[in-house]
Amino acid sequence: MQKPSVLIVGAGIAGIACAQALRSAGVAARVVDRGRKPGGRMASRTIHGRTVDLGAAYFTAEPGSRFADVVAGWLERGLARPWTDTIAVAGAGGIHRSSTGPMRYAAAAGLRELVVDLARGIELE
């Protein structure tokens, strides 16, 4: 019997996470994407020497989740950093209100680099 093989369309964080989960289960996975690098909605570009996130501006991780474990690894290696847990709504008259929620994380080298890190060992086309 032939081993199963899976084709994943899209090299965003969801596609790469799926490929890693399949790889951990011993299932071969190939990821295809129209972009030159993985990233999807976590895409970044360098403009005038600075990294700019073009899609998502930050991300959150549910405490105790498996993704929180991934984020902890990124934090330890300096790939991600805590950003803020407070969001404010501002207008012409100044700040109207603010609210505290989950910690939001950012990445100095751009969020795409987190997806690139997650994609290590994955076959990308």
**Looking at the predicted structure, is the pLDDT value of residue 27 above 80?**
yes
Token pair 């994955």: residue: 122
**Looking at the predicted structure, is the pLDDT value of residue 125 above 90?**
no
Beta bridge partners of 32: 9
Give the pLDDT of residue 124: 86
What mean pLDDT comes out for the span 37-60?
89
Report H helices in the chain. 13-24, 66-76, 112-118
Q: Are residues 44 and 113 in contact, defined by beta-carbon separation less than 8 angstroms?
A: yes
Domain boundaries, given as residue ranges, for the chain: 5-124
Q: What is the CATH number of domain 5-124?
A: 3.50.50.60
For residue 43, the one-letter residue type is A
> For 62-114, how does the pLDDT look when each residue is reduced to its tens digit (9 = 90+)?
999 999 999 999 999 999 999 999 999 898 988 888 999 999 999 989 999 99
Which stretches does DSSP call E strand in 16-124? 28-32, 44-47, 50-53, 81-91, 94-106, 123-124
Give the pLDDT of residue 1: 60
What mean pLDDT comes out for the span 19-34?
91
